[in-house]
Structure 1
Amino acid sequence: MARTKLQTPNFTLSKRADGYYVIRYTDPATGKTRDKATGTKDAKEAEEERARFAADYRKPKLAKNPTVAELCDAYLEYRKPQVKSAASLEHSYSPIKRHIGALYAQSITQTTITDYIKKRSGDVSGGASGRLRIKPVSEATINKELRQLRAALNWAGSEDKIDRVPTFRIELSAGEARDRWITKEEANRLMETSSPHIALFLLIALSTAKRREAILTLTWGNVALHPAGHETIDFGDDVGNKRRGKTPIAGNVRLIEALKAAKGVAKTPYVIEFRGKQVADVKTALRASCRRAGVEEITSHVLKHSAITWMVQAGIPYEQIGKFTNTSKDIIEKVYGHHSPAFVAEAVGALAF
């Protein structure tokens, strides 16, 4: 039977018959046990050497002066276990590697970045799901790519893989602030024109203000529909800086009944399923629902934005909204505060003359 490959080398100290210590570890690539001499019989010195060797072993294997492409690949390997969508992260680095990947990381200058912006501005992006929707690459997209490049460079500097971390300005807009939200009347029209699994997705999103990924990965084991009056949905652990947490739904009769009905016919562990399979994305289906309902096209993020906007418009305190949605009070006030009835009344009152 083949030996199971370990995820970490699992460094330990072992004393040889001659009294010298060796560092014993399992090569994660081969599963074989290897020894590294410490050159000492002193237990304390051997432990210090073990700690140094383990730290160096885990460092990224990169040339001292790596190219941008090599650095990006190494950073991707480092980040993949920490992010929800590794494919999305790889997608951000693809144009970086294509346009400036052959350059040495430390040779990046402001001119390099300016040239990159010009090249990317001339690129076009396509549509999804086989539907061709060619359009120029937006400034917000280029901004995101360059921020990812900066993150990779900073990481390389912290790992001592480059002597100097290049600094540069990103002279682009991060995109217009998103203030798109739908009314409750539009929400009901969307529900009526959507297939059952999309209607349930909409209902959960608008009732909990949770993100698309949290809803699509939600399983029935994390939905508590009993006892009555204590119903909750546990969206699991936070992913990166994306907060999830547990959301109470007691009293939301429409959502509770919809969940009970869906659970009764479920064929998979996932709450959002279609034809006996987990749903990977709702972008295309949501676009079709908008078209049928006569609602301006929205993304799933607009649903979260709408839910919080409704609560602010209803005069719910920012702190209470923050606790319910696992969003900081400061963000609620900064992004959604202008929807508050109190804010509007005070602003209008101040301008009266």
Structure 2
Amino acid sequence: MSDVRRNTCEAYVKYRTAQPIRHGTTGRKASVQTARRELEVLSAAIGYWDDEHHLTRRPKVILPEKPESSRDALTRSEAASLLWASLGHRKNADGWLTLSGSSKTNRQHLRRFILIGLYTGSRAGVIKRLSWTESLQDPWVDLDAGIIYRRGRNERDSKTKRRPLVKLPQKLIAHLRRWKEQDAGKGVATVLHHGGQPVASVRTGFSTCVADAGLKDVTPHWLRHTSATWLMEAGVDLWTASGYLGMSGQTLEKHYGHHRPDHQSAARKAFA
């Protein structure tokens, strides 16, 4: 712990951001935020030790500045293009090109991922682990009640990422029922699967759909931003929307509140 100083923390960030990311072959490097999260783990470990042994001098872990998230969201037409790409199509200068039949089959799990993400705003980690049956360890779907439980019966919520259940809209329930019928008799336990096997990551396939839809720099987390933005644009009250998304009302208001139809309405009326 005597090595934890400002210059070593800054040197770690510099070193870490020169390392390639583990997934994919894009050549991308680890981000400053990745280094920041790892340093936060180090800080937590020091704090844990301090609670047990009461350090005479607890070193301070210096973190890089946390950038403001862009909170980008898809428009309705962009979301439609992304879904169309997941159906095995590619946008070009002349319109849409239909790809081979295998492309549609290979992207089946991506269609499910995109629709669940847009309709519920659930995090990617939750959607990838969704089970068709009640689970102690994983999120699961209860089609009879029309609910997605975002955590298993024995899982505990973290302090920073809430995972409340979400009551599903009828359109998504219809999709889920159709998907479950398709999976019947195949021995498939998870909602998202590729060739009957659980999906570990959607990043590469999602990036391909983004490119085929004519979009750029769209990540899976955009689906959560999009869901939150659309709820605000529809005028859903903050308490209801935050509970639906599993997001604090403070975060929702801070980052998405400006999309509400009544945003700053009192100030605008004052100048009428």
Query: Normalised by the size of structure 1, how large is the TM-score?
Result: 0.62
1:166 Cα offset (Å) = 0.7
Contact kept in structure 1, 2:161 and 2:246, CA below 8 Å: no
Query: What is the root-mean-square deviation in Å for CA atoms of aligned residues?
Result: 2.4
- Structure 2 vs 1, CA of residues 157 and 272 (structure 1 numbering), >3 Å: closer, same or farther? same
- Specify the code of the residue in structure 1 equivalent to 2:175: A
Aligned partner of 2:114 among 202, 213, 223? 202
Distance 1:308 1:335 in 2: 9
Work out whether 1:213 is the aligned partner of 2:125: yes
Structure 2 stretches of 5 or more lacking a match?
87-106, 134-139
Give the SS at the match of 2:166: strand
Q: Does 1:191 align with 2:83?
A: yes
* Higher RCO (CA-CA < 8 Å; seq separation 6+): 2
Deviation at 1:120, TM superposition (A): 4.1
Partner of 1:300, secondary structure, is coil
- The equivalent residue for 2:20 is 125
Q: Deviations over 1:198-257 (max 9, x none)?
A: 11111111111111111111111132323xxx522222245423222221114x22x122
Residue type of the alignment partner of 1:133: G
Hey, what does 1:234 align to over in structure 2?
Answer: 149
State which of 110, 113, 133 in structure 1 corresponds to 2:9: 113
- Measured in 2, the distance between the counterparts of 1:127 and 1:340 equals 39
What CA distance in whole angstroms lies between the structure 2 residues aligned with 1:182 and 1:125? 28
Kept after mapping to 2: 8 A contact 1:125/1:134: yes
Instruction: Name the CA distance, whole Å, in 2 between partners of 1:297 and 1:289.
Output: 12
Partners in 1 of 2:23 and 2:3 — Cα distance?
36
* Matches of 2:13 and 2:48, distance apart in 1: 22
Deviation at 1:132, TM superposition (A): 3.8
Counterpart contact for 2:229–2:259, Cα < 8 Å: yes
User: 2:81 touches 2:213 (CA, 8 Å); kept in 1?
Assistant: yes
Q: After superposition, where does 1:1-353 map in structure 2 within 5 Å?
A: 105-120=1-16, 123-126=18-21, 128-129=23-24, 131-135=25-29, 137-160=30-53, 162-170=55-63, 172-194=64-86, 195-221=107-133, 222-226=140-144, 230-236=145-151, 237-240=155-158, 241-250=160-169, 252-253=170-171, 255-266=172-183, 267=186, 268-343=188-263, 345-346=265-266
- Alpha-carbon shift at residue 265 of structure 1 (Å): 2.0
For residues 165-213 of structure 1, the C-alpha deviation after alignment (integer angstroms, 9 at most, x for no partner) is 112433x321232321111221121112112221111111111111111
Q: Do the aligned partners of 1:212 and 1:301 also contact (CA within 8 Å) in 2?
A: yes
Kept in 2, the 8 Å contact 1:109–1:167? The answer is yes
> Which of the two has higher C-alpha Rg?
1
Partners of 1:210 and 1:144 lie apart in 2 by 21
The alpha-carbon distance between structure 1 residues 117 and 245, as it changes in their structure 2 partners (threshold 3 A), is closer
1:100 aligns with: none
Residues 164 and 243 of structure 2 are in contact (CA less than 8 Å); yes or no, is this contact kept in structure 1? no
Distance 1:321 1:201, change over 3 A: same
- Aligned counterparts of 2:11 and 2:51: Cα–Cα separation in 1: 27
Contact map agreement 1:106 1:165 (CA 8 A) in 2? no
Deviations 1:7-53 (A, max 9, x none): xxxxxxxxxxxxxxxxxxxxxxxxxxxxxxxxxxxxxxxxxxxxxxx
Kindly tell me: are residues 127 and 294 of structure 1, through their superposed partners in 2, closer, same or farther at Cα, counting changes over 3 Å?
farther
Contact 2:85 2:209 in 1 (8 A): yes
The 3-state SS of whatever aligns with 1:223 is strand
Check 1:117–1:271 CA distance in 2 against 1; reply closer, same or farther (3 A cut): closer
Match of 2:173, as an amino acid? Answer: I
Structure 1 residue runs of 5 or longer lacking an equivalent are: 1-104
Q: 1:191 to 1:150 in 2, by over 3 A?
A: same
Specify whether residues 212 and 332 from structure 1 end up closer, same or farther in structure 2 by C-alpha distance, changes over 3 A only: same
For residue 162 of structure 2, what is the amino acid of its counterpart?
A: R
Three-state SS of the structure 2 residue aligned to 1:263 is helix
Q: CA deviation at 1:277?
A: 0.8
Read off the aligned partner of 1:128 and give its amino acid letter: H
